[in-house]
Structure 1
Amino acid sequence: MRRVTWGAAPSGFLLAATVRHHFGKGDQSTPGLSDCLYADDFLCSFDGVEQATHFTNLVRRELGSAGMTLAKWKTNSECVRDHLLRTGVGPDDFDSTAAEFLKVLGIMWSPAEDVLRFTTPSQFDEPLGEGTLTKRRVLSIVASLYDPLGWLTPYSLRGKKIVQQLWSADLEWGQPVPDSVRIELTTWMMEVQDLRGFSFARRYSGRDDSPTARVSHVFGDASKTAFASAAYIENRYEDETSTFSLVMSKSRLAPRVPPSLPRLELPAAVTAVRLKKFLVERMDVQFERIFFYTDSTIAFHWATSASSGRWKQFVSNRVQEIQANSNAEDWFHVSGENNVSDLATRGISASSLINSPDWWHAPEWLRLPMDRRPLTRPSRGALSLDSVNLEMRAVMTPIVVHDPQIDLNRFSSAGRAIRVVANVIRFGYLTRRTAVPVLAELYRRAEAKIVGWCQRQYFQEELSSVRSGEQVPNTSKLAAFQLFIDSDGLLRAKTRLTLGPFFTYEEKNPLVIPGESRLARLLIIDAHRVNAHFGVNTVLTQIRRRFWITRGRQVIRTILSRCVVCRRRQGGHATQIEAPLPESRVTLRAPFAVCGVDFCGPFFTRQRRDTVKTYAAIFVCTSVRAIHLEAVPSMTTPQTHLAIRRFLAIYPSCLRFVSDNGRSFVKAATDIKRLFNSIKDREVREALGGRSVDWSFICPRAAWHGGFYERLVGTLKTALYKTLGRNLIGYEDFRTILCELASVINDRPITHAGTDPDAPPALTPAHYLRGGPYNSALATFVPVDHLHGDEVTSGADLSRASAARTNYFRHLSVFVVLAERAQCVVPVAYALLPDKAAESYTRMLNLLKEAWPALCPASVVMDYERAMMIAVRACFPPETRIQGCFFHLVKNIKLRVAQEGLWSRYTNDDDFALKARMIAALAFVPPSELDNAVAELSPVLPEELIPVLNYFEDIYIGRMNRIRADGTVDRRTPQFPVEMWSVYQRTLDGEARTNNYAEAAHRRLQVEFGIQHPTIWKFIDGLKKVQKGRDLQVESFVAGGAPPTKRTKYVRADERILGVVERAEHLQHVEYLRGIAHNFLMDA
């Protein structure tokens, strides 16, 4: 390419590179040719005509060889002009512009007078509207003032200060600026008119003769708003006179939070030496000496100190730069009034700048002889506290105490992390030359260390609260737990299983682990891997025997969904409508009373050097889903006989086998029947119970009839494939693995593992086989003092264990139905319900109606349960009123107050508590006045209680849609209608406002039971005792005895409430609500 394309992105670079290339091939005696080129402009100056003409000849020759001809020549020397005309430059090649001033690189230059003048931006002439002046426009105006060498620094600094004010005000780019800033900016812009007619000499010397020496003077200064430096050149002549001229200056604003003044003076000194370095590199001038001046004694001593290593980092780095670019003997101290750079740190007006000879031509005292100048070099002894301007500041320095801990992100399993920490602890014992504990104790201490680190990282606030005996904040994730700190300093949660004799200490009081921590992830991965990659319920059950992970089920589900092994093995499967379970599946019998049998395999095992087939015989209990595994070398009838004999030796209570129509099974069934029939001795038959082991076969070619054991065949295969992979093991190893997998499979949960810490552990087949789970696959470290002699099982304990397992079969809740008889409320039915679903309630009420056909209550008082409301509406006529319990209404509002984080204020601020209860007191307002009461209550409530009032309005009154033209309010349908929870009419009629009688009946039962989860027999005995006491009370009332009475304080409270309700028409709504709120408590 022979042309440089102009206007493209790389055009500037290509032009500069081309010119530098041609300059590099020319005369090496003039290496500064490229320094005079600015894009497509060539600018240079010389001390004499001879130098100028020689340079023009050289430039024309170098560029002419590249085909580049210089045009639009302009010079202030007639001699140079004549030389150019004589050497081939035509008249047309000169700039024909008739203007007095030409723009040269953004600065106006008058060739005739050889002076410079500033160009003022057009933005300074535009009006500043009140709404159009934004931070973006202010920055554009300030940046438009073109001053590349800092000649106008004292004036432009004021514009920079205005921009800094806008940053401190945190304004958006398009947001209008305050009026004070607009006025200040307008004043600053109007002063630019004084600069338009101002011009100054282009030449530094101002004389035609060449100087004999040149000296540079650099000043540095700082204030609380900025720091700056200014450089001057001194030209010395033979007649011992000198001229001074400003070369350039630099300034920077101080930070918005300025440091101490000496720490600002030091950057000013750094700016001065950088300015000197720039002048030496860019100006083709040999300086005889360069002087530096500062008015800070501290900065002077820093700059001239012998060593910079003894200062702190901030000072040391800057002192090193100063000493690397200057000599200590070139630094001098001057007073503040003799430091000219002070103008650039404070800012002055444009007119003052123009009329400041010290700024343009250096201070007058520089023209004095050296010994008469006001310069000092303070000695180090003169630096005392009296000579330093001290400033008192309050400094807050945080003290960070690092808790050394291991980075768990470096480990892929919790076991590996425990081993590493255990080795570190062991190393500590070895270095102290003390006895090393056993390996199990080292592992226990290592695990405690890791758990402690994790808890201190995530539960610091909870640990502090528990240690100080305070309540855990309501906003904490652990607010629902009963926490305590054990002997190792670890946070544990008490459960309601504390009195259970069948649970270990760690099951009763698990360690609390944050679900978002790396430790929780490692524990879950280990439990998932050890338990043959079973699902969420199995992993959750295993972990909860020692740890309570917050949001455990969600965290486990998330981690297991990313397991590579499980994602490879698991796939989608077809679904179909399931048939009813057979009778043997839903009848509770002894384990393996009815048993499914099948073979699984083949699996390949190693026998010496050969590979042989091996099978697994699987026995599945139909009722409790327990499994028993036997390894067999083949599926022949003899091997089937042996496997069944081994199974019956362990579980002799088997009555019936269910299998497919495999030949070995058919032959085994025939042999077992023939064997029993061959027994002739009557006593032997009676000893066997008169029954042989029956054998049932499913329909041919209908494998789904044996789905209950085929499902566990799939579970076994999945566990084997994930555990063994492609490894080839021996026959005995295969038998051992089958036993271990049977233990793991029988330890899987067959009921839901909930998130409630007080709920019983999930039920597993191991509970029916051995009274409890097998040993956990996770490592367990139990202190010696947690084992007591009373855990040894005796005969009475066995009966209790049996009863406990019976209780595990169904988790039931007691539902008490009470009826009002004259002035007595007596229980009429106790129902055991499996859940709180509407179907269960409906079935209970229908059974009550069958047993008591006359049951048709006028009203039903209940908690705010939607399922119970649906059941009552379905079983009783529409005339039956559903009335909500005021006590539970207050509890719902209390819960909302706690969710808003206001419970601490409620307990400590009586006025706040009273106003919170005024929201619940809306239940005593006549329904027709509710809208007015809510409107009057809202302004008097604290702002924090408004969300609670909005919650009450949404759930119990209905959110407001609009206000009709007649002034009435149109609302949405509430979740609970007003007639259900309003107690205004009930109070006037003397009816009950709560269902506290039912709560009292529940408490009476709990007191009688003494535990939360009694056995069925203890429940029946306790129910008989409670009902007997109730019957005695009823008989006493029938015989003329007085009915039970309320406590005096409750009677008086009812009287006061009735008095306020009766005066409702004569009170303002706020006064009425306050009066009601004084007579009940929310924390009761």
Structure 2
Amino acid sequence: MAVARLKSLLRQYENQPEFLQEFDRIFKEQLQQGMIEEVTEEMDRKSEKKTTPKRIVFDASAHCAGEPSLNDVLHQGPLIMPNISGMLMRFRTGKIAITADIEKAFLQAIHNSIVFRFTRVAFGLISSPFLLAATINFHLETAENNKGIATEIKDNLYVDNLVMTAETKEEGIKQYQEAKKISNALSMNMREFTTNSEGVRAKIAKVDRCSEAVAKVLGIQWRTDEDKLVIQCVAQPSAKITKRTVLHTNASVFDPLGWLTPLMLRNKCFFQSLWIKSYDWDEILTEEDQEQWKKLCDSINNFRMEMPRGVANKRGVHQLITFSDASTSAMAACLYVKQGNHQELLVAKSKLPSIKGVHTIPKLEMNALTIAGRLTLTTYEELKKIISVSTVYLLSDSEIVLNWLKNDDPTKVTGVLVSNRVKEIKRIAAKFKEEGVKVYIGYISTKHNPADCATRGLTAKELYDHIWWRGPEFLSKDQKDWPEETRLFEIPAESAEVLQISVQKEETPVINVGRFSSMLKLKKTVAYMMKFLRRVTRNLPDVAKERIRKTFGIGAESEQTRPLEAVDMRQAEKVIVKVHQKQYYSIITANTQRKLNITLDSDGIWRCHGRLGKSRLPEEAKKPVFIAPNSDLANLIIQEAHGKYHRSTAHTMAEVRKRFWIPKLRQQVKKVIRTCTACQRYNNLPFRYPPLAELPKRRVVQSRPFQDVGLDLFGPLKTRNAEGIQAKAYGCIFTCATTRLMHVELITDDTTTSFINAMRRFMSRREVPKTITCDNAPTFLLAERILTDSLVEAQADGQIGDFLTNAGIKWQKITPYAPWQGGFYERLIKDVKWALNKSLGRRVLDEDSLRTVLVEIESCLNCRPLSYQEEDPDELVSIRPIDFLQNRIVISYTVDESQDDVEDPNFLPATERAQLRTHREAEQALRASYDITEKFWKVWNEAYLTSLREHHKKYLQQGRSSPKKPRLGQVVLVEDPLLPQNGWRLGRISSLEKSNDGEIRQVELRMSNGRTTRRPVNTLIPLELGEECEEEVSRSQSRAAEETSEDRAAEETPDDRAAKEIPEDRAAGETPGQNRRPRRITKKNYPYSEEE
């Protein structure tokens, strides 16, 4: 790995020899000084830093495949460095600020080379920050002199960056001089001193002085000449916009004190919306989302703002004023520090509401005020050592929240959440009062509330001149001159609660049964433990040896070297039971009081004595061992009785009661069986299919014949060639979704080429459809790829792909194993099969004759009535599919019905009158044809569509099912009609596909081989792995009638649950029951109901 890293670095910088030379010089220097031994490295260029434009960073996170890295096995250590936000707050106090840097801080700290491989603390190790901070803190705490400056350095040294402030030039000079003395005592060179005071700068040695006018203080630019901080926001969207790159762009904006909160809010909300839309980390966003993200970045990009560094005088009295606000998008608080008539924004904080659940605005406002209280307390804790705070104000624009705070007991009115928030704010106020700081709560109107913009967001242009930076104008006035609407009040003290708690120390059991997955493993472990105890107690005094043996039930006669035998397992079981009964002694006492007749036997084990003493049962069954219910040991015993043959509830209970007595046994046995993975394969029910959706638009809206079609293949059909040899052929049916017209083609095989040729014939004779609905047969999937992508390697003829690609057909594939979704064409396949079986019987026709028969069947079925033929001739006539295929000419001009010119002999000669009469007759025939077509569509709308309600079904008839809802990531058993039930595969739900009505009818699964597939929910059986399986809350009426006891349900075998085979002549519209162990059938054996 080290050699590979070295080669990578050499390739990267082979065109920069001066860079490699400097790199080599640094390593040789560190090697001579004993700082390093042998490491892998990575170059980190810091061209903007004058002191270290090039530095070595040891890559301690590098690792070989399957092996841990050095950082993985090192302990990070506790966080003892000061809070970076608190340091920045303190940096904004005082008139004079001083910063410095420790030269090669990590490489100055020497540590034990026996414990670590390196002789110095290497830059890049996960433990390096702690080791450096601990080393410096140790020396600062042991410093005899300069205690004051040592404490200030400790509180304001972040890694190797020192930040200090002073009020006068003399204080600043003293801080520099004492800091240098302490650093020299630590054998660390403190350099790069930067200050905004020319007087202090003049006293700093030239070698320690930083010559740059602009310095970085903990990541924030500081212009020392004007004593201003520079805030910048650079948000450039990546070329590839994904959820990961959006997060990277947001995180690249460094804003530790929340000054850019209004600017970044909309970007944070956009990132939250990506979670709601369930984007994967590296999934490309949609064009709409990408455009929105680019606009958001453009609105805040290149924002730059300068603000004064000093906002508080160390010797003055200050006030902390915090505003809070909330909206449906965010909750925010901003804090201003005020001295005299001047105030500046110090810190702000925002939080987005959770995407789970519904949040009311008052509760969000309550959370926002809690955030304000926490922020104020944290700020005070960071600043109280260096500035004096007299008063704290918390202002909100929600009067509901303020009334909650005035209420002595808000629990009865507001609920637990608000009550807890009120109690927390009162505790915060109490802490301030303990420090001698007054706390006031008040109202602030929305237009004067600077936190309002932090909950709605601002663009870069809007943020420049906004009250966000200095708050409302009235803050510069005395509190008595504030608006009357503020209505300040003090928070009432929290009422004291006296609670009496009884504490009983829980005894830790010697054997933790919950760590074992089976009773056999537990007994083996305890048996080996007993053998170990026998060995270690051999040389003990007899008194101690006897006490240990009695405690654990260890027999004196035992060979330590022999393997485990039955006697060892029995002794181990006794020890396990005794430890268990000791742990649950209180339950045993309670059951004794209930007259279960529980007594101790000679081995010190509690047994239940019933009234079966005179029976011929074994002694263990007459006096079973008492086991506490719902305990880990009870579960292991039940699992062992359930066994590898997975006995039923009654059989398992009988097996347990041969030796043990467990109260509430039936309930626990059912729980174990429900969580048994092998039993769930047979006992669990599939998901219940949601109510059937409305018919799709293409089924109920007037359109051209064959504009929207469904297609499928049926067969194989038997044919014979000229030599009399039998062969296979297939039928291809095209069904109009609107008019119910059908078109049948005979193809010689089920290959893609034959299917595409059949499509060409259909489109040439009928019409090029706009949409095609089909199943997921490989023939159709390859045909779709040819249509859309023109795959040259899949084309039998080069012209076929071009022809079909230009057709522009939209394919709509139904969910696999959900044939009812294609019921409108599957129903006609059954009619074609019936007609073939009745007309041909056992005869085998040649290909030409079979094609003729199929065309005649097509003609016959196209003439079937679609609506009921009324007996009254004046009623609407019945329509047929064929009626929509003819009479389709539309007259685009007005027909003149006047006949005067034809009848007048003086107007035209006889020959022209005859021609004109013929012309008029043709026009009348066309108009009559047009009227007939319109009449057909009228009957279709008024009679046919409304008659479909007669066959309406709300639910899919699927037999027994589970009311549970599928969950993302849930493990399910995938039904396969071609395999026995024990051969069904497992899958994990990777995506929930919601329909337009919000119901989940199909899901996407990730199978064990890594492939993904779609399935309807009623073909998936949920498995509860690693968690308690919930009991089914409802059963079908048939099961309720058949099962009269709980044992019968548990003892039912898979063969009893298997559904009956579906007969070929099932009535139209029926849906099969849930076939749990189906015979090997094809999808054509299913009847369909959803679309027909």
TM superposition score normalised by structure 1: 0.39
Instruction: Tell which has more relative contact order, 1 or 2 (C-alpha 8 A, sep 6+).
Output: 2
Which protein shows a greater Rg? 1
More helix by share: 1
